[in-house]
Chains A and B, each alone.
Chain A
Amino acid sequence: EVQLVESGGGLVQPGGSLRLSCAASGFTFNNNGMNWVRQAPGKGLEWVAYISSSGYTIYYADSVQGRFTISRDNAQNSLYLQMNSLRDEDTAMYYCARSTTVNTWLLDYWGQGTLVTVSS
């Protein structure tokens, strides 16, 4: 069974930093690209970042470019999101989501999310 378990969320002040983690199991982690998708309270879904299976190809949403860094450790079956210079508008539930092997942008498994709150 595919499982994605996020951790690392919490309360942080504007301008602060946070590192999210996603532990993957139940599939061959280095076969799939991975994503972070966020959802602000009461709002819709916003894709944040993508990393290819090898880690060589990375994309970011304009809203986080230059502030967030996605990475992965295939030996540890883990995905990360380093978030710097956090803003109020980064407050959201952050989901780790797996890309399918047939299409990079289809997300077939999602974790339960970790909540990030940016507030003074």
Chain B
Amino acid sequence: ETVMTQSPATLSVSPGERVTLSCRASQSVDSNLAWYQQTPGQAPRLLIYGASTRATGIPARFSGSGSGTEFTLTISSLQSGDFAVYYCQQYNNWPPHTFGQGTKLEIK
């Protein structure tokens, strides 16, 4: 099973700031990496797939990069609705496709 490790677990940032979240895979997943956003009490929402392609309706301030084992999600100019938990997911080595443990963005 491919283990996904996200860092940091929690990040305190201010609205308007730029933030970068990291995700590392225990083995190569090529570019088969997705990011999901989960706001409190809500279901996850697909943000990024193929490591860098934004899903339908996702604003351009969200961007993803990386391949192999190292990936990042960058959010430029954080808005209030962006404070949430972000999960990475690999879908290269399956089953199972696996999620990271999440990074929580909180307001500083």
A interface residues with partner B (beta carbon < 8 Å): 44-47, 50, 59-62, 95, 103-108, 110-113
Query: Quick check: B43 and A50 within 8 Å, CB to CB?
Result: no
Nearest Cβ on chain B to A77's Cβ, whole angstroms: 19
Alpha-carbon separation in the docked complex, A106 to B45 (Å): 11
Which residues B74-108 have CB closer than 8 A to chain A?
Answer: 87, 89, 91, 94-102
Using Cβ atoms and an 8 Å threshold, which residues of chain B touch A46?
Answer: 99
Count contacts between A and B, CB distance < 8 Å: 54
B68 near A: Cβ within 8 Å? no
Q: Quick one: which of A44, A62, A110 contacts B43, CB cutoff 8 A?
A: A110
Give the B interface residue count (CB, 8 A).
23
B19 near A: Cβ within 8 Å? no
Nearest chain-B residue to A110 (Cβ)? B43
Query: Quick check: B44 and A110 within 8 Å, CB to CB?
Result: yes
Given contacts A105-B91, A106-B91, contact A47 B98 (CB under 8 A): yes
